[in-house]
Structure 1
Amino acid sequence: MRLALVLSGLLIILGAQAEEVDHAAALASLQRADSLLIDVRSAEEFSAGALPGAIRIGHDEIAAQITSIAANKDQPLVLYCRSGRRSGLAKQSLEELGYRQVINAGAYDDLRPLLEADN
């Protein structure tokens, strides 16, 4: 019984981490003037370094705060965090709220050199 509970918990965790990261879509979306780059990491992580133009909203706060920066549910939203897991969770929350153009850009350390090369 305990093994079944452990395995089901592991599947839930893996499912939360399985959100697809799409760097190409993120870079294309960020070329649009109306797109928003959102850092869903902690305030401490953000203050240690963030991507230019990023707005910080913690992944656990995004559902409550998103309408203050993006009332239009068709506005492109590009999310990133440390590994892609929290941005994946935030993407799911936003899609449940009806946002249609949400992209998980994955990890800060992976996205930063791509943005620098794109400029």
Structure 2
Amino acid sequence: MKRKLFVGILAVMLVMGLSLNVSADVLSGGDLVEELSEDLEREMGVRELKAAMDDGEEYIILDVRSTAERNEGFIPGSEYVNFGILFFRIGDFVEDPDQEFIVACQSGARSVIAAVLLQDMGYKPINLAGGFNAWETFEFEVEMP
């Protein structure tokens, strides 16, 4: 439990651009994402998500990118909640902790961190592999603010 708390705090600090000034070994952002990926319970690719949406399946899609990133376009129907406040406002978006939902960021790194921390909180997140960059790579529809 203490390790998860430490990793969670470190993740938030790394994502928010803060730094630690310590002489001990500290994980890089990439190392942290790689380590947390091992704990990820569910992941979905953008093609799988798009096919499901085309078949009429509805998902809560939480876009955890920065406001500037969101302003460049977003996955249709996604809801915006900045990573920094996601963990305090998750109940505003997902009322039932047993309901699956998608967590998406720009490249899939922040969403891995978010998904694992949300799992630890008792939710059922699905990480969107590759994030918005992968969505754009396949030239799927993008909404603008």
Tell me, yes or no, whether TM beats 0.5: yes
Match for residue 26 of structure 2 among 2, 9, 21: 9
How far the C-alpha of 1:81 sits from its partner, in A, is 1.0
Report the secondary structure of 2:71's partner residue: helix
CA–CA distance in 2 between the matches of 1:86 and 1:29?
A: 23
How far the C-alpha of 1:72 sits from its partner, in A, is 0.5
* Percent identity (aligned): 24
Say if 1:91 and 1:104, in contact at 8 Å, map to a contact too.
yes
Match for residue 74 of structure 1 among 64, 75, 98: 98
TM-score w.r.t. structure 1 length? 0.74
Q: Which residue of 1 aligns with 2:132?
A: 108
Q: Output the aligned Cα RMSD.
A: 2.7
Higher helix residue share:
1
Q: Deviations over 1:64-108 (max 9, x none)?
A: 1110111111222111111211111111221111012x1111320
Q: Which residue of 1 aligns with 2:120?
A: 96
Question: What are the ranges of 5 or more consecutive residues in structure 2 without an aligned counterpart?
Answer: 1-22
CA–CA distance in 2 between the matches of 1:25 and 1:103?
A: 14
Moved over 4 A (4+): 28-31
How many residues get paired? 109
Change over 3 Å in CA distance of 1:23–1:29 after alignment to 2: same
Say if 1:16 and 1:85, in contact at 8 Å, map to a contact too.
no
Report the secondary structure of 1:79's partner residue: strand
Say if 2:46 and 2:131, in contact at 8 Å, map to a contact too.
no
CA–CA distance in 1 between the matches of 2:83 and 2:69?
A: 13
CA–CA distance in 1 between the matches of 2:77 and 2:89?
A: 18
TM-score w.r.t. structure 2 length? 0.62
CA–CA distance in 2 between the matches of 1:37 and 1:70?
A: 10
How far the C-alpha of 1:26 sits from its partner, in A, is 5.6
Q: Name the amino acid aligned to 2:110.
A: R
Question: What are the ranges of 5 or more consecutive residues in structure 1 without an aligned counterpart?
Answer: none
Q: Name the amino acid aligned to 1:22.
A: M
Higher mean C-alpha deviation, range 77-86 or range 24-33:
24-33
* Alignment partner of 1:45 is 2:101: no
